[in-house]
Amino acid sequence: MAEATTRKTRGPVLPVVLSANDLFVGEVVYLTEDGWTADPRRALVAHDEAAAARLEERGVAAARENRVVDPYFVPVTIDGDGVPQARHIREAIRQRGPTIHPDIGKQADFKAA
């Protein structure tokens, strides 16, 4: 079992969501109760190591089935609306979409950090 850690983070890592790239549509996706979604608001959030291990198991299985590639933990904070928000700029950009024209595309669906 891998711990919910990453070399890119400092300080506490949890909570986390599991992110990957969908091999069918090319989108950044997040693990949910019933599969994968491009909507990070629906992502399952692991608040402890046991929950993170369960997410990881499902991610590894999906990667073996060639549904997704490169599943990994993304450290998040939970905003006032209960939505997981990526803690690091790289992941925030992956979550929201391109930084140009924030008023159109999927990035228009997310509040500015």
Please tell me the predicted confidence (pLDDT) of residue 24: 93
pLDDT tens digits for 16-31?
Answer: 999 999 999 999 999 9
Copy the structure tokens of residue 84.
């997981």
Please tell me the predicted confidence (pLDDT) of residue 11: 43
pLDDT tens digits for 35-91?
Answer: 999 999 999 999 999 999 999 999 999 999 999 999 999 999 999 999 999 999 888
Question: How far is CA 23 from each of CA 30, 41, 49, 75, 101, rounded to the nearest angstrom?
Answer: 13, 21, 27, 23, 26
Confidence band of 4 (pLDDT split at 50, 70, 90): low
Q: Which residues are 37's β-sheet partners?
A: 30
Copy the structure tokens of residue 92.
């925030």
